[in-house]
Amino acid sequence: MTEPTQDDLRKVYAETKTIAVVGASADESKASHRIPRYLQSQGYRIIPVSPKGGEILGEKVHTSLKEIGEPVDVVDVFRPSEETPAIATDAVSIGAKVLWLQSGIESEEAERIGEDGGLLVVMDRCMGATHRMLGLGPGPDH
């Protein structure tokens, strides 16, 4: 894998409108709530994905990526590494452009599935902190 450059990452934020967040949480103390909330505050549409359903950040929670009936640009993942190959397969099948695995999450298999499906794959990186690092916003409260 080639590590995405800062220009690659800037392009992701510039071209992204909708982010599906797999593993989104309603628990405000968790990063899987704080990061999507921050991205939402920066103008991105957040679609939470969790088997629990319900509502998070004012958006209906979908139980799977395949349930989402609108275009998704980025699939942002807050799930254990071993779950990411199946998530990568779903991200490819729904036509996402980017598979983003949050800090601490890496999977060579998910990376291969994503890249073979034409996705840019970012691993082990916080989408909120990267937004701040690139000078695109204040960054989330950690």
Instruction: Determine, yes or no, domain membership for 53.
Output: yes
pTM score, whole prediction: 0.96
Q: State pLDDT tens for residues 82-124.
A: 999 999 999 999 999 999 999 999 999 999 999 999 999 999 9
Instruction: Determine, yes or no, domain membership for 93.
Output: yes
State how far the Cα of 5 lies from the Cα of 71, in Å rounded to an integer: 25
What is the domain count for the chain? 1
Q: State pLDDT tens for residues 62-84.
A: 999 999 999 999 999 999 999 99
CATH of the domain at 108: 3.40.50.720
Which residues 6+ apart lie within 8 Å of 70 measured at CB?
18, 47
Instruction: Determine, yes or no, domain membership for 139.
Output: no
